[in-house]
Amino acid sequence: MTVTTKQQIIQEVEAMSESELTKVLKLLQSFCLTKHKPQVADIKYPLRGLPVEYIDPLEPVAIGDWELA
């Protein structure tokens, strides 16, 4: 059995291409071996986290606004 040192791992990672690094990161995330969480929620909900401004939240709603098409 061979022993892999931290320095050997660093050298291997530095030699990888961007696409290979992306694949490795996804693999580590799938096994929950990284603190970095994939940003899946950002894709599903692109407006999540953006500031919300209510211009006149207590203004009454017109009856016509409640009509169904």
26 vs 46, residue with greater confidence: 26
Number of H helices, E strands in the chain: 3, 0
Q: What are the helix (H) ranges across the chain?
A: 6-14, 18-30, 40-44
- Asked if residue 61 belongs to a domain, the reply is no
CB atoms within 10 A of CB 24: 14
**Rounded distance between C-alpha atoms, residue 23 and residue 53, angstroms:** 39
- Asked if residue 11 belongs to a domain, the reply is yes
- Asked if residue 14 belongs to a domain, the reply is yes
Q: Quick check: 13 and 21 in contact, CB under 8 A?
A: yes
- Asked if residue 13 belongs to a domain, the reply is yes
Average pLDDT, integer, range 20-25: 90
Average pLDDT, integer, range 44-59: 82
Model confidence at 64, pLDDT cuts 50, 70, 90, reads confident
How many structural domains is the chain composed of?
1
